[in-house]
């Protein structure tokens, strides 16, 4: 059904459509006619949803800070799981990974050649020289925020440190590309260029995603791309950027026993950093800072 110019806007602002998103919709319709991929209204968060997602992001960041304060050599990845689980519950949240599509734990812990979706295990003990990604997703009052960081355990090799740092740089470079009327391809281009310039590879088939009202929403955020291509970015979109970067080849395989853990095919190290970001009226915001 077509919305009237004097009807309340679909975005939930409470303003009349003509004074709110009418011009915006007109602009998008013109872009769509030129074969530009435009986001549906469903991908644009209301002010109220954004507030909820920001609160989830704040708790998610506190959880990662708490992990940063406790993570150390000799600890098992299951101890990280316990810390995340208990802190989340104690602060009124729900750890989103737990039971998500059957995932058995409350956080993903991906060590060395594990690219992502590592399952915490009491028999997996962190040792000097390991690199680990801890990926935390928190539900608070029904809203989701998703972020991950790398941690270096004790003294790590120079090449491991470089991989971790370059991956973080690629995420920060990508964030600078997030703006209204930009494109998802802008993100993919800067990440892949930065990663390839260092001789690393970035996964094409696993990437970021819309997030906020659910764990994984549209769009798919590919970390390989070309500027000016892919979906148009508009204010109110919320998604993750989470490049997975391998020291060696891009190829990966999934653990046949648990059906989750993704490893590098060649056994090389892998690193990942993740933010949840929002497109604002005049730029962008990191929701998980
Ligand atoms: N947090 C991951 C992401 O960034 C998803 C993990 S799914 C899980 O998208 F089930 F493994 F938790
Ligand atoms: Co994510
Ligand atoms: Co995540």
pLDDT in tens, 11-57: 999 999 999 999 999 999 999 999 999 999 999 999 999 999 999 99
CB-ligand 1 contact for 100 (6 Å cutoff): yes
Q: What is the mean pLDDT of residues 167-191?
A: 99
Query: For 217-255, what is each residue's pLDDT tens digit?
Result: 999 999 999 999 999 999 999 999 999 999 999 999 999
Task: Return mean pLDDT, the chain.
Answer: 98
| Model pLDDT, residue 158 | 98
Eight-state DSSP code of residue 207: -
CB-ligand 1 contact for 67 (6 Å cutoff): no
Of ligand 1's listed atoms, the one at least distance from the Cα of 96 is 12
pTM of the predicted structure, to 2 decimals: 0.98
CB-ligand 1 contact for 137 (6 Å cutoff): yes
| Exposure letters 1-25 (e unless 16+ CB within 10 A, then b) | eeeeeeeebebeeeeebeebbbebb
CB-ligand 1 contact for 220 (6 Å cutoff): no
User: What is the 272 CA–ligand 3 centroid distance (Å)?
Assistant: 10
User: What is the 111 CA–ligand 1 centroid distance (Å)?
Assistant: 15
| Model pLDDT, residue 22 | 98
- Ligand in closest contact with the CA of 211: 2
Nearest CA to ligand 1 atom 8: 97
CB-ligand 1 contact for 189 (6 Å cutoff): no
Eight-state DSSP code of residue 225: -
CB-ligand 1 contact for 135 (6 Å cutoff): yes
**What residues sit around ligand 3, an ion, with C-beta below 5 angstroms?**
135, 146, 274
Q: What is the mean pLDDT of residues 129-149?
A: 99
- Positive or negative, the CA dihedral 285, 153, 62, 141 is positive
| Model pLDDT, residue 28 | 98
H-only helix segments in 34-149: 47-70, 77-90
High-pLDDT (> 70) share of the chain, %: 100
Separation between Cα atoms, residue 247 and residue 53, nearest integer Å: 33
Of ligand 1's listed atoms, the one at least distance from the Cα of 107 is 12
Tell me the best of 64, 95, 96, 108 to mutate to test the pocket of ligand 1, counting ligand atoms within 8 Å of each CB and taking the most. 108
What confidence category does residue 2 fall into, taking pLDDT thresholds of 50, 70 and 90? confident
| Model pLDDT, residue 1 | 72
Tell me the best of 146, 212, 275 to mutate to test the pocket of ligand 1, counting ligand atoms within 8 Å of each CB and taking the most. 146
What confidence category does residue 95 fall into, taking pLDDT thresholds of 50, 70 and 90? very high
| Model pLDDT, residue 40 | 98
What confidence category does residue 266 fall into, taking pLDDT thresholds of 50, 70 and 90? very high
Of ligand 1's listed atoms, the one at least distance from the Cα of 209 is 9
CB-ligand 1 contact for 88 (6 Å cutoff): no
Q: Torsion angle of alpha carbons 148, 60, 136, 202, nearest 10°?
A: -20
Query: CA 38, 277, 35 angle in degrees (round to 5)?
Result: 10
């Amino acid at each position: 059904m077509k919305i009237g110019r004097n009807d309340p806007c679909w975005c939930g602002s409470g303003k009349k459509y003509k004074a709110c998103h009418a011009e915006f919709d007109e602009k998008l319709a013109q872009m769509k006619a030129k074969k530009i991929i435009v986001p549906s209204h469903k991908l644009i968060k209301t002010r109220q949803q954004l507030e909820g997602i920001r609160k989830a992001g704040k708790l998610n960041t506190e959880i990662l800070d708490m992990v940063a304060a406790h993570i150390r050599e000799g600890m098992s990845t299951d101890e990280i799981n316990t810390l995340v689980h208990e802190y989340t519950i104690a602060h009124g949240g729900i750890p989103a990974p737990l039971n998500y599509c059957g995932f058995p734990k409350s956080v993903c812990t991906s060590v060395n050649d594990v690219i992502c979706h590592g399952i915490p295990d009491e028999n997996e003990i962190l040792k000097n020289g390991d690199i680990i990604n801890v990926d935390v997703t928190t539900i608070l009052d029904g809203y989701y925020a998703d972020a991950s960081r790398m941690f270096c355990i004790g003294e790590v090799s120079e090449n491991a440190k470089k991989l971790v740092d370059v991956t973080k740089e690629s995420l920060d470079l990508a964030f600078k590309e997030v703006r209204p009327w930009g494109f998802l391809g802008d993100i993919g281009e800067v990440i892949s260029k930065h990663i390839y310039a260092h001789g690393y590879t970035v996964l094409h088939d696993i990437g970021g995603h819309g997030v906020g009202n659910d764990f994984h929403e549209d769009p798919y955020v590919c970390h390989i791309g070309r500027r000016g291509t892919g979906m148009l970015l508009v204010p109110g979109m919320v998604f993750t950027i989470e490049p997975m970067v391998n020291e060696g080849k891009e190829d990966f395989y999934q653990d046949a026993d648990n059906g989750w853990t993704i490893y590098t095919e060649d056994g090389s190290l892998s690193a990942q950093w993740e933010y949840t970001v929002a497109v604002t009226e005049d730029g962008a915001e990191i929701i998980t800072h």
